[in-house]
Amino acid sequence: MGLSSSQARLLSLTGRMHDIEYKAQRLEAQKLQMANESAHVYQEYENALNATKIQLKQINADGTDTYIDATYNILMNNGYRLSPVGFLGVTQEDVDFFNNTADKNAMEFACLKSGYAIKVGNYVALSSDTTQYLAFDAAGLKKIAAAGKNIILMDDIDVTSSLGTLSSTLNGNGHTLNVSGKTSAFSSIQGGSVQNLNINANITGSVNVGALASTCGGNVNIENISVNGSITTSSGQAAGLIAETKNGNISISNINLNINVSSKNSNAGGIVGQNSANLNIGNVSGNVSAVGTNAGGIIGNTWSDGETKVQVENCNISTTINSTSGVAGGIIGMAWDSVQVNNCYVTGKISSVCNSGYASAGGILGGWGANSSKADGQATVSNCYTDVVLSADSQTKNPVTADITGLKWNTVGKEYITNCASSNGTAAKPLYNYNPNIVFTEAANTNSVKSSVLAANSNSGAKLENTYNPETFAGYQEYYHIGQAIATGNYFILGENADDSIWLKNMLDDGFIMLQKADKFGEYYDVNIATDTSLKEVSSDIALKKAEAKYEADMRKINNKDKKFDTDLAALEQERNAINTEMDTLKTVAKDNVDRTFKLFS
């Protein structure tokens, strides 16, 4: 049995009523949202009423002052620095320059941006002298060295693999090479010079190893070097500075040592492991522990064809020297041919153990001999003082110990020992084997020798200089600050905000940045509006006018929408009432029809 027309109409009206109710509920929710938006707009307006800005004092030509609105850029250009509490504002231009031009290095970025340095091809050079190239990291140092250009270190550098060959000038500029791994900082030095450099070494190798270089030859000058750490090799020479000096004229001076050097099966020395060059070493101080077949506080072993000469003077070192199968000396382990040692002061323990030959320990020279074909071979030890404990042990030969010089090999040369003394009270105690050919002049007074040697060494050791210091260059500090922020990722990009005074005030109020100002020495210190007389806080009229205009516009939009919502709700209410009236009528008709039907059948 189908529905009557009145019943069908009633069902249709019921569905329509549900749709009206849904629309009405949605309009009511939108009206509530508009109320919230209205409250938010008013809060923004209220904040603007209380908003202030920072102004910076400017001195006019007539001595009066005016105040201008302070922005990020204006403060930066007037000697202030905005120190990041978390992040620093930088420009996109600075980020691109840092990544593409400055090789992602904060110091290089600062040097280039401040004008302290310039790009010359693929290198960075001093703007005042383009023959001096700047190294900021190991990769740059290796690249410049390979090109044979003069190098200035601008920062401490970590070196974990060989930097190759150095043939130019390296000015450490007071900075440090932190050398670690299996190799020397440089595989070879061939000519040139090295100066003003600290080296921290932690090297365990299997070939010739020195903190600075494995080998060195040519005309080389090395001065003002400080070396600390440990150098060990399982095969080859070991030394605090150069493992092996091979040829040429090499000068090494003004050296500070605090090192442990060890070679398992070859020579070890505080400065040079093995030498066959004309070598001049002077002004050395520090502490040396050396272990090798021949071991010395300065040189492990020096030998030649009789033509080369070695001179060591003005050294003041504390030693622990151990020879494992040869001789040990406070200054030189084993010396051959022309050797001179002057004004040296040695303290510590020196020992030699040799199971298959002579064991010899000497306070200055562990042993000396001259090439049998060179009658002019000569060793000279003068004005030296030792305060050492000596020991020697040999299973096959008579062991030798001596306060000045140990074993003498069979030689046609002569050794001259003059004005030397020791804490043992014996001037020289020149013990020897074979034909010594010694000319020995005993010191007149032990104490006077000690005093004069110490006086001669009063200025020994490294005298490092930091000549190239970009920190004093205009703008460097601020650019370095920016470079560090970019390097660590603690930055945000400045756009139009850099010239927005309200943005600046908000950033300061929210604690994202802090104000800093430079004193007369260029040092930055924290300042704020209350403590800096050049700054003041004022109401922002412009911001207020903008806020008023925005408030009126936003409220106009909200009111218009609200009115439309009210109109739509009124229309829905009117439609709801009409449907209710019709539904009531249909329900009455349906009831009457039911009543008539029941009466008919009853």
Q: What are phi and psi of 141, to 5 degrees?
A: -60, -45
pLDDT surpasses 60 at 569: yes
438 within 8 A of 431, measured Cβ to Cβ? no
249 domain residue, yes or no: no
Domain limits for position 578: 5-49+543-601
Do 383 and 335 share a structural domain? yes
pTM of the model as a whole? 0.74
Do 564 and 547 share a structural domain? yes
254 within 8 A of 285, measured Cβ to Cβ? no
pLDDT surpasses 70 at 46: no
Domain count, the chain: 3
181 within 8 A of 138, measured Cβ to Cβ? no
Do 305 and 334 share a structural domain? yes
**Which pLDDT belongs to residue 393?**
92
Residue 51's pLDDT band (cuts 50, 70, 90): low
194 domain residue, yes or no: no
Q: Where are the alpha helices (H) located in 87-204, listed in sequence order?
A: 92-100, 106-114, 138-146
151 domain residue, yes or no: no
Chain-centre distance of CA 76, in angstroms?
A: 26
Q: Residues 492-496: what's their mean pLDDT?
A: 81
Do 405 and 533 share a structural domain? no
Do 342 and 437 share a structural domain? yes
pLDDT surpasses 90 at 188: yes
Q: What burial class does residue 512 get, using C-beta atoms within 10 Å of its C-beta: 0-12 exposed, 13-18 middle, 19+ buried?
A: middle
444 domain residue, yes or no: yes
Q: What are phi and psi of 495, to 5 degrees?
A: -110, -120
**Which pLDDT belongs to residue 306?**
59
Choose the weakest-confidence range: 117-121, 399-403, 561-565. Answer: 561-565
**Which of the two residues, 211 and 421, has the higher pLDDT score?**
211
Q: Which of 277, 180, 274, 190 is nearest to 236 (CA)?
A: 274
Do 555 and 506 share a structural domain? no
Do 451 and 308 share a structural domain? yes
187 domain residue, yes or no: no
387 domain residue, yes or no: yes
Q: Where are the alpha helices (H) located in 55-137, listed in sequence order?
A: 72-76, 92-100, 106-114
**Which pLDDT belongs to residue 602?**
58
Residue 261's pLDDT band (cuts 50, 70, 90): very high
430 within 8 A of 438, measured Cβ to Cβ? yes
Do 336 and 426 share a structural domain? yes
112 within 8 A of 124, measured Cβ to Cβ? yes
d(CA 84, CA 528): 14
Residue 1's pLDDT band (cuts 50, 70, 90): very low
Residue type, 352: S
Do 453 and 393 share a structural domain? yes
DSSP class of residue 177?
Answer: E
**Which of the two residues, 121 and 10, has the higher pLDDT score?**
121
Residue 431's pLDDT band (cuts 50, 70, 90): very low
Domain boundary among 539, 565, 593: 539
d(CA 497, CA 564): 38
436 domain residue, yes or no: yes
Q: Which residues lie across from 361 on neighbouring strands?
A: 328, 401
Q: Residues 277-287: what's their mean pLDDT?
A: 96
d(CA 137, CA 175): 12
Do 299 and 442 share a structural domain? yes
Residue 588's pLDDT band (cuts 50, 70, 90): confident
Residue type, 574: Q
Do 532 and 558 share a structural domain? no
Do 70 and 16 share a structural domain? no
d(CA 137, CA 109): 13
297 domain residue, yes or no: yes
**Which pLDDT belongs to residue 319?**
96
- State what percent of residues in the chain have pLDDT above 70: 91
- State what percent of residues in the chain have pLDDT above 90: 50
Residue range 383-420, pLDDT digits in tens: 999 999 999 998 888 888 989 988 887 667 788 899 99
Residue 345 parent element (H or E): strand 338-354
3-state helix, strand, coil in the chain (%, to 5): 30, 40, 30
Q: Is the dihedral of CA 326, 297, 400, 383 positive or negative?
A: positive
289 within 8 A of 258, measured Cβ to Cβ? no
Q: Which of 263, 246, 128 is nearest to 208 (CA)?
A: 263
